[in-house]
């Protein structure tokens, strides 16, 4: 590349007030806090810049501009300038040198001054607006600057869309290349198409724009992999969670509730950290989602493992020289209600579920029996609910624009059914963690025996690959 080809492509984002310029930039740069998005007219009052980096260097420099507020009057003013021989860009420069550029047309002057110093412009259009004369004047003003203009049609999914009328108007002014891009919920591939269409207008910058597209695709794949890895860590942590309870206290209803409540909080904290991490990974704020209630998993009491009836039902044989052929699974299920992911500030769900008095390997069960203690572990149903929600959240974040102002809610958190196959496979695959309470990494400060384990890391990696299957078509 030449030095000019290495330089960041300068793009001015222009359009009428409240067309969605700042919203588009938030989505393209994945910066939910850039600028101010509001329904109030004229929210952006100054030109602000933000970079899109590729491999640590600015590849595109965007300029967020104020809305064009009085293009009709400005067009009339330009027509009255003395120099009739001036070209359209020269007339724009004459205007910028006059007092009106610092007075009644100050906002328009900021926009035009920026356009004269950039490579191209994105003209953001709210297609819900009727095609009025003022919009024709805005397009003529932009064309007068002699810079490539790429129209970006926003809010095209809205029932009030007038997309055909806008396409006809844009084509009448020679703007035949147009991009449909919903800033709040972008179409799949819309970002790639935007830069690809831009390359038709900036032919000498095609190589850099191709690098931008490739980099964005690689970043998306890395984010998804990181999200699955984080969910896998949650699954291992929750499966490895194990709390011992003296039998006497376990038999006391009030004391048992205390233990269950403590376990419930541990599960809540694990899930809360995971949801916060996913929001941060995708560049969203912790308050960008509401609570997503999940159905409760009813708890129940089952047979005592060591009762003769239970052993008979399980097909176990004890006697001289005999070995225990198998272990009966869960001994007692305790209902845990109302776990909430994202209370107030972050995304989550009311994770109803069950916490079971699990036993793990038979040797530990027997030892605990002799010590007269019980163990509390998280039931498979809870693990399934936890992971299914985190996957649904990840899907929602991948389809959400950073300009979206509404919070992610349960009924809109995913556009597809819960990824049951990959979730169930992951829950089955995590069972080895139940035999390793030392693998629980949450609350390290209070669990001095915890230490990283290669086996734990390998299991988490396998689970992450399994969870990737939830995103395959």
pLDDT at 317: 29
- Break the chain down into helix, strand, coil percent, rounded to 5: 50, 15, 35
Least confident among 28-32, 273-277, 406-410: 406-410
Comparing 23-32, 88-97, 348-357, 444-453, the range with the smallest average pLDDT is: 348-357
User: Is it the case that residue 374 has pLDDT exceeding 80?
Assistant: no
Task: Compare 421 and 251 and report the one with higher pLDDT.
Answer: 421
- Packing angle, helices 206-240 and 380-398, rounded to 10: 160
Strand partners, 332: 301, 357
Residue 147 binned pLDDT confidence (cut-offs 50, 70, 90): very high
CATH code reported for the domain at 3-201: 3.40.50.300
From its phi and psi, is residue 342 left (phi > 0), alpha (psi between -120 and 50) or beta? left
Domain ranges in the chain are: 3-201, 223-471
For 242, list phi and psi in degrees, rounded to 5: -150, 130
Angle among Cα 344, 282, 222 to the nearest 5 degrees reads 145
| Mean pLDDT comparison of 33-42, 45-54, 439-448, highest-scoring range | 45-54
- What is the token pair recorded at 65? 């501009």
Strand partners, 244: 375
Q: What is the DSSP string of 197-256?
A: HHHHH-GGGHHHHHHHHHHHHHHHHHHHHHHHHHHHHHHHHHHH-EEEEEHHHHHSHHHH
Position 146 pLDDT exceeds 60 = yes
Instruction: Report CA torsion sign: 464, 282, 341, 392.
Output: negative
**What's residue 60's pLDDT?**
92
Predicted local confidence at residue 36, as pLDDT:
54
Q: According to the model, what pLDDT value does residue 367 have?
A: 43
């Amino acid at each position: 590349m030449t030095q000019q080809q290495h330089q960041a492509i300068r793009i001015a984002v222009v359009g009428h007030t409240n067309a969605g310029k700042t919203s588009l930039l938030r989505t393209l740069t994945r910066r939910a806090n850039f600028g101010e998005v509001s329904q109030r007219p004229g929210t952006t009052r100054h030109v602000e810049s933000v970079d899109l980096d590729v491999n640590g260097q600015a590849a595109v420099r965007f300029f967020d501009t104020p809305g064009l507020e009085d293009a009709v009057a400005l067009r009339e003013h330009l027509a009255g300038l003395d120099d009739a021989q001036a070209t359209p860009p020269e007339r724009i420069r004459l205007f910028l040198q006059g007092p009106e550029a610092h007075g009644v047309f100050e906002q328009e002057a900021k926009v035009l001054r920026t356009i004269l110093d950039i490579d191209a412009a994105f003209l953001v259009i709210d297609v819900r607006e009727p095609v009025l004369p003022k919009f024709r004047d805005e397009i003529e003003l932009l064309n007068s600057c002699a810079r490539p203009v790429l129209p970006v049609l926003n809010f095209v999914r809205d029932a009030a869309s007038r997309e055909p009328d806008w396409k006809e108007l844009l084509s009448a002014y020679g703007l035949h290349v147009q991009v449909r891009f919903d800033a709040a919920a972008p179409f799949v591939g819309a970002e790639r198409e935007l830069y690809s269409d831009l390359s038709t207008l900036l032919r000498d910058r095609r190589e850099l724009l191709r690098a931008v597209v490739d980099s964005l695709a690689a970043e998306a794949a890395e984010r998804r992999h990181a999200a699955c890895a984080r969910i896998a860590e949650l699954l291992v942590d929750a499966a490895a969670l194990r709390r011992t309870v003296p039998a006497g206290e376990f038999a006391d209803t009030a004391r048992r509730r205390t233990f269950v409540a403590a376990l419930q909080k541990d599960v809540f904290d694990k899930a809360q950290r995971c949801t916060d991490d996913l929001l941060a990974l995708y560049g969203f704020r912790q308050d960008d989602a509401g609570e997503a209630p999940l159905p409760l998993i009813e708890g129940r009491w089952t047979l005592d493992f060591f009762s003769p009836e239970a052993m008979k039902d399980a097909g176990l044989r004890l006697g001289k020289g005999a070995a225990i052929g198998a272990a009966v699974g869960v001994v007692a299920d305790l209902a845990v209600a109302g776990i909430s992911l994202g209370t107030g500030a972050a995304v989550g769900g009311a994770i109803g579920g069950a916490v079971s008095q699990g036993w793990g390997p038979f040797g530990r069960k027997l030892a605990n029996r002799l010590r007269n203690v019980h163990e509390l572990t998280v039931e498979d149903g809870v693990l399934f609910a936890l992971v299914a929600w985190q996957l649904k959240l990840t899907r929602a974040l991948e389809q959400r624009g950073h300009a979206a102002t509404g919070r992610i809610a349960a009924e809109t958190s995913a556009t597809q059914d819960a990824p049951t196959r990959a979730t169930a496979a992951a829950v089955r695959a995590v069972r080895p963690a139940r035999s390793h309470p030392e693998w629980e990494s949450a609350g390290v400060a209070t669990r001095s025996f915890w230490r990283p384990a290669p086996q734990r890391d390998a299991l988490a990696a396998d689970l992450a690959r399994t969870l990737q299957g939830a995103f395959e078509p």
